[in-house]
Amino acid sequence: MIVTLLGTGTSFGVPQIGCTCAVCTSDDPRDRRSRCAAFVQTAGGTRLLIDTPPELRLQLVAAGIGDADAVLYTHEHADHIHGIDDLRSLSVKNGRALPLYGSRETLDTIATRFPYVVDPSMRPLAGTTKPEGTMHTVEAGTAFVVGDANVLPLAVPHGRVSVLAFRIGRFAYVTDAKTLSDEVVDALRGVDVLILNALFRNPHPTHLSIPEAVAMAQRIGASRTFFTHLTHENSHEALAASLPDGIAPGYDGLTITVAD
């Protein structure tokens, strides 16, 4: 399995608008972070996009990705869904609607904000196109199959909403979590690669802090953990130097091979 981190930044993105801090003005390309998304290609060739952030077009072009078999949505916040219009290139290319998997709450939000994407009765004018998706509701704790990928969604708390983490074989993707229950930790044990959100060094009401994320990663025990949803509080270089062996900051464009 090949995993590409398309975006690894907080909802503000890095550089943050109007900020002139050392990280926002850094020359290190790893300090330029768009909003969170990932792309998974299984050994059998199934291609899964996780979330559609506002920079999706730029992310897919930069990674050389031109197609996907489905989209997995973690939750309904704007930084995770508001690039959905960029799915138009994929649905037009294939001549079919793209399957969209998510919780009922997330899909309801998409249907309310972007009805033209998921309502088949809303047809484009002759000579024009639109993104097209079909909604598939999933339940936390109940696995589903896309191509040759067995996907296990897991519920993690994020303030007033519940987020879906995803385990796909020996890979797991967890973003926007404040904590992980014992049941989720048990479900994630045995993964080779874990992607885990880590916000500030100090506690935050809706996200794991960096120290909390380190402790959680060590509980899960993945061979390699990469942090995502990172802010301008830490440069890539400084954060990498401060983390234990086996844990590293992710960055936009990072490609990871996951053991079968």
Q: Quick check: 86 pLDDT over 90?
A: yes
> What pLDDT, on a 0 to 100 scale, did the predictor assign at position 217?
98
> What pLDDT, on a 0 to 100 scale, did the predictor assign at position 141?
97
> What pLDDT, on a 0 to 100 scale, did the predictor assign at position 92?
92
pLDDT in tens, 43-57: 999 999 999 999 999
Cβ neighbours of 108 (radius 10 Å):
14
Q: What's the chain's average pLDDT? A: 97
> What number does CATH give the domain 2-257?
3.60.15.10
Q: Which residues contact 123 (CB under 8 A, 6 or more apart)?
A: none
pLDDT in tens, 169-225: 999 999 999 999 999 999 999 999 999 999 999 999 989 999 999 999 999 999 999
pLDDT in tens, 104-143: 999 999 999 999 999 999 999 999 999 999 999 999 999 9
Token pair in block for residue 198: 């880590």
> What pLDDT, on a 0 to 100 scale, did the predictor assign at position 134?
98
> What pLDDT, on a 0 to 100 scale, did the predictor assign at position 177?
96
Cα 45 to Cα 217: distance, rounded to the nearest angstrom: 28
Q: Quick check: 80 pLDDT over 90?
A: yes
Token pair in block for residue 164: 């879906």
Q: Of the candidates 145, 149, 163, which has an alpha carbon nearest to the alpha carbon of residue 228?
A: 163
Reported as a pLDDT band with limits 50, 70 and 90, residue 59 is: very high
Q: Of the candidates 58, 61, 63, which has an alpha carbon nearest to the alpha carbon of residue 39?
A: 63
Is residue 156 within 8 Å of residue 179, measured between CB atoms?
yes
> What pLDDT, on a 0 to 100 scale, did the predictor assign at position 226?
98
> What pLDDT, on a 0 to 100 scale, did the predictor assign at position 99?
98
> What pLDDT, on a 0 to 100 scale, did the predictor assign at position 170?
97
> What pLDDT, on a 0 to 100 scale, did the predictor assign at position 260?
79
**Cα–Cα distances in Å, from 166 out to 51, 123, 155, 238?**
12, 33, 9, 29
Of all helices (H) and strands (E), which one includes residue 255?
Answer: strand 255-257
